[in-house]
Amino acid sequence: MKILITGGAGFVGARLARTLLAGGTLAGRRIERLVLADLAAPPPDLHDDARVAARVEPLAATCEALRGEPFDGVFHLASAVSGECEADFDLGLRSNLDGTRALLDALRHRVQQGAAPARLVFSSSIAVFGPDPALPLPEVVGDDTIPAPQTSYGTQKLVCEHLVADYTRKGYVDGRAARLMTVTVRPGRPNGAASSFFSGMIREPLAGEEAVCPVSPDVRHPVSSPQRTVEGLIAVYEASREAFVGRSALNLPALNVSVQQMLDALEAVAGPRVRARVRFERDERIAGIVANWPRAASARRAAGLGLQPEARFEDIIRQYIADHAGTPALKGLEA
């Protein structure tokens, strides 16, 4: 079995790759080759695995190669992030909309040449939901809530959801779109996502650094741990067509929390000294984007696949600590 992960060198992509390699199988079949396509090289542990091949190139080049190279399955994670797409409209269109269209067309070409449709999991986003005067945003967005995105990123993700559904209807792919919640805690440095602070306000204090929260403590948002996110992507891939139910996107499970609850959890796990490294400093640009995001989400269809969110945000923090034990990422715990 040969699997492609676009965005395979990124945080979620690399974690997905490690999970697949550790299990050795996907949907009951042995994984013989895992191709990680990204603009950056994969981490050394993945690069050194004999089952892994890296494609360090733009997505367009990977899509062109796909026309002559068969894959059984694809996880499409490559994407420009929310803040980048608001700042650079053309970047968002190229990376998210045009890149996904090129990938789908490459897979369609394979079918038109007589190959079986590849199974495709597209990573959509909770950002497809937003408030609109004609469609007020409910307190909890569900699988059946009508999306009304209020950002370019969310709009691009929603368009791609419909493309995946239509290419599936036509038999060009066996596609499934899964809406990811905001994934926290992400390691490394802040990225261009407007949601980056949801990780930074936990990650930086644990590393002994100050963190700035750009929104008020009563802001609520659906989040998920890296582990539950990867489990969700794999479960969506392995689900039968009937179990997935239809072709429309589903929400992955969410832990619905407030910023204050996240900080309370940080103090409960790491102590008041670590919590004190977070200060509030409002950023109107970030706050304006976040104000148009859902405050909570449900995931009925994902629950039908056996997926559940974490019970407490403390568990998400402890997962991050376990993942980075003995590294500089936790030096703030020793101070």
What DSSP letter does each residue of 197-216 carry, written as one string?
Answer: HHHHHHHHHHTT--EEE-S-
Q: Please check the confidence at residue 295 and state whether its pLDDT lies above 80.
A: yes
Q: What is the CATH number of domain 2-333?
A: 3.40.50.720
**17-28 average pLDDT score:** 97
Q: Please check the confidence at residue 272 and state whether its pLDDT lies above 70.
A: yes
Tell me how far CA of residue 285 lies from CA of 58, 79, 151, in angstroms: 30, 21, 12
Q: What is the pLDDT of residues 98-111, one digit of tens each?
A: 999 999 999 999 99
Within its chain, how far is the Cα of 317 from the centroid?
A: 18
pLDDT of amino acid 160: 98
Q: What is the pLDDT of residues 187-218, one digit of tens each?
A: 987 776 788 999 999 999 999 999 999 999 99
pLDDT of amino acid 303: 98
**Three-state DSSP class for residue 121:** strand
Output the CA angle 227-230-236, nearest 5 degrees: 140
pLDDT of amino acid 193: 78
pLDDT of amino acid 220: 97
Among residues of the chain, what percentage have pLDDT more than 90? 87
Q: Please check the confidence at residue 183 and state whether its pLDDT lies above 90.
A: yes
Confidence of residue 335 (pLDDT cuts 50, 70, 90): low
pLDDT of amino acid 154: 95
pTM for the predicted model, two decimal places: 0.95
Tell me how far CA of residue 119 lies from CA of 50, 111, 168, 267, 282, in angstroms: 24, 12, 9, 43, 43
**Three-state DSSP class for residue 163:** helix
Pair of tokens at residue 186 = 């992400």
Domain ranges of the chain: 2-333
pLDDT of amino acid 289: 86
pLDDT of amino acid 98: 96
Rounded Cα–Cα distance for residues 175 and 177 (Å): 7
Question: Which has more confidence, 170 or 68?
Answer: 170
Tell me how far CA of residue 147 lies from CA of 72, 111, 138, 193, 209, in angstroms: 31, 31, 11, 20, 38
The DSSP line for 24-77 is: -EETTEE--EEEEEESSPPPHHHHT-TTEEEEES-HHHHHHHHTTS--SEEEE-
Q: What is the pLDDT of residues 219-271, one digit of tens each?
A: 999 999 999 999 999 999 999 999 999 999 999 999 999 999 999 999 999 99
- Note whether 245 and 304 are within 8 A (CB): yes
Q: What number of H helices and E strands is found in the chain?
A: 15, 14
What's the longest Cα–Cα distance across the chain?
62
Q: What is the pLDDT of residues 130-157, one digit of tens each?
A: 999 999 999 999 999 999 999 999 999 9
Rounded Cα–Cα distance for residues 157 and 177 (Å): 10
Confidence of residue 332 (pLDDT cuts 50, 70, 90): confident
Q: Please check the confidence at residue 334 and state whether its pLDDT lies above 90.
A: no
β partners of residue 251:
179
Q: Please check the confidence at residue 4 and state whether its pLDDT lies above 70.
A: yes
Confidence of residue 67 (pLDDT cuts 50, 70, 90): confident
Question: Which has more confidence, 23 or 192?
Answer: 23
Q: Please check the confidence at residue 31 and state whether its pLDDT lies above 90.
A: yes
| Residues noted as catalytic | 153
Residues present in the chain in total: 335
Mean pLDDT of the chain: 95
Rounded Cα–Cα distance for residues 176 and 164 (Å): 7
Exposure of 216 in the CB half-sphere (CA atoms within 13 A): 4
pLDDT of amino acid 100: 97
